[in-house]
Structure 1
Amino acid sequence: MKKYLINICFIISMFTFAQNLKIIPLGVYGGSNESNLSSYLLAEENTTDYIALDAGTIYSGINKAIENGSFTNTTIENILKNNIKGYFISHGHLDHLSGMLINSPEDSSKPIYAIKETIEVLKNKYFTNTAWINFANEGESPILNKYQYIYAEIGKVFSIYNTNFTGTVFELSHVNPLKSSAILVENNKHAVLYFGDTGADRVEKSDKLAKIWKEIAPKIKSGKLKTIMIEVSFPNSQSEKILYGHLTPYLLNEEMGKLAKLVGKNNMKKLSIIVTHIKPKDDNEQIIKNELLNTNPYSINYIFPKQGDLIILK
């Protein structure tokens, strides 16, 4: 009887431990470097079952992660075919999906999660005979049926196949008429909110971010959601007239002020923000880091990801 109790306790403890999450950045920039574009692998810490959050860079990012020791005892081919269980594509710009396209001939069968508008871009612009080859399950013939489009409805929870995750997608304001999106990925203990490209509500004359802050506030208060991955593409010197649906440190702080009103300053101190999609032109990267760290009214823990470096979320 004691043996069975020990085994049960061990299983329970392992299950609980496995709930912590990990992120491996395959690409962190929003342009200029085709070997390091937006893509992040997310999994439970004790598994190798990843969902790719965007797919601007795949092969080069996996290779860098192996070099850095974030993956061990494996190969690029195995990670691509067996460990990446699916892709969430936030919108139809190349810096968020070109890695998936280029590596599609070597990939295995898996789902692509996206809003209808993004799937239409993939179907009509990229997976065509004139641009590439149709590796998906809809669109121009011949249809190779390697990837399966999963149409994510705004605000509706769906299962992420072959993982313990669910996803909920939200609409963002980026560059009209193109639609962008964010995804809330959850297991039974933790959640991560990942943003594709987005502008600030005030600049975009929108309420898209306000709706998201209202939706996620209870999860921040409960402690389930502690990590937000959001873009800061330009430094504060960039005119709001030429942001093209992106954020600056000033605008991120403006949005965080709205979130703080919903969750309180104490809960904001528990929040980590992984800064994505920096445009690495000249010294923009360092300027953005300084502007975020030096003006941080809500004491947020800012994380600046490096390609291939493992991030553990607890």
Structure 2
Amino acid sequence: MSYKRTGCICLVLWLLTLPAIAQTTFTVVPLGVRGGGDESNLSCYLVAAAGTSAYIGLDAGTVRAGLVKAVAAQTFRAPVEAILRDSIRGYCLSHPHLDHVAGLLLNAPDDARKPLYGLPGCLETLQKSYFNWQAWPNFGPGGAAPALGKYQFQPLAPGPETSLAGTDLFVRVFPLSHGPGYESAAFLVRHHSSYLLYLGDTGADALEKSGRLRALWQVVAPLVQRGQLKALFIEASYPNEQPENQLFGHLTPRLLLQELDVLAQLAGPKALRGLPVVVTHSKPAADNEALIQRQLGAANGLGVRFVFPQQGQRLGF
């Protein structure tokens, strides 16, 4: 066989591998990436099965302002109102702090009927503290009359997987510790045999004394080993200089890397190499984000691929 023909065959075989390499399972559009202080850019990540326009919001701190930026960047081609009402099919809420639900609340009058998923305590707080005709009109399904019922509450229990209505996605919930006595949640989202893991606010096991992160890592480790976990979203709110008694149930780069070390011990020392780790919830203080990025990069012995999301810019995993 001639060199020329052999070269052509090799080129064809190489080209045939490109779709598999470039293929993405999840499309993610960050509508907000920060953790408090900037009301126009608070935690909210839209997730859809790649190739579809049916999104679930992972938290909802900022919605409309993020959609405006996404449309301006041509991440979306539809009008903001259409995306809000039709493309976002529901929200998974990690906990009811305002920097994770304010966008949902403020845009409720213009929204369509859709489900809200979360731990029972989160949904109960949403109903009692916000949808009560005092803090805000009652767009929930119960509580103070009249209950407008725009949102249907879908409580999630740890363990079983739940279908996310109107999408090709499924979810499992895991409780997290966000300071003494306060519960947050992580969502393990599945499409076919691929997974994306999103953690709401969380403290480190070493400080929270709950063991909840280790329990989560034990479930996720086999997915990492098999290459099924496509991305991990986890917070780093403060730089390492923040005193531990002023973390308020959050992580620093040092504590985040300690937790990834635990995952690596369970999955294998090289299993995390190249894994996209999307860093969320950094506080918007001066130089805070840049310092967090430098500290994570300098100590990244596991070889994970840190991703620092930008509001309105599409990500693919």
Q: TM-score with structure 2 length normalisation?
A: 0.92
Deviation string, structure 1 residues 128-180 (Cα, Å, up to 9, x no partner) = 11100111112211100110000000122111001111100000010233310
**Aligned with residue 94 of structure 1, among 95, 98, 105:** 98
Aligned-residue CA RMSD in angstroms? 1.3
Alignment correspondent of 2:41: 36
Alignment correspondent of 2:117: 113
- Taking only the aligned residue pairs, the percentage that are identical comes to 42
Deviation string, structure 1 residues 237-291 (Cα, Å, up to 9, x no partner) = 0011110000000001111111111111221103110000000101111000000
1:49 aligns to 2:37 (yes or no): no
SS in 2 for 1:252: helix
Alignment correspondent of 2:128: 124
Partners of 2:174 and 2:109 lie apart in 1 by: 30
Shift, 1:18, TM fit: 8.3
Alignment correspondent of 2:312: 308
Match of 2:41, as an amino acid?
A: N
1:189 aligns to 2:193 (yes or no): yes
Q: 4+ residue runs of structure 1 moved beyond 4 angstroms? A: none
Match of 1:253, as an amino acid?
A: L
Specify every segment of 5 or more residues in structure 1 that has no aligned partner in the other structure, as ranges. Answer: 1-13
1:26 aligns to 2:31 (yes or no): yes
Specify every segment of 5 or more residues in structure 2 that has no aligned partner in the other structure, as ranges. Answer: 1-18
Partners of 2:50 and 2:170 lie apart in 1 by: 16
Match of 2:226, as an amino acid?
A: S
Mapping 1:1-314, distance limit 5 Å: 20-72=25-77, 74-313=78-317
Q: TM-score with structure 1 length normalisation?
A: 0.92
Partners of 1:226 and 1:166 lie apart in 2 by: 15
SS in 1 for 2:185: strand
Bigger drift between 218-227 and 113-122 goes to 218-227
Larger radius of gyration: 2
Number of residues paired by the alignment? 297
Shift, 1:99, TM fit: 0.2
Partners of 1:67 and 1:153 lie apart in 2 by: 38
Q: Does the aligned pair in 2 maintain the 1:236–1:250 contact within 8 Å?
A: yes
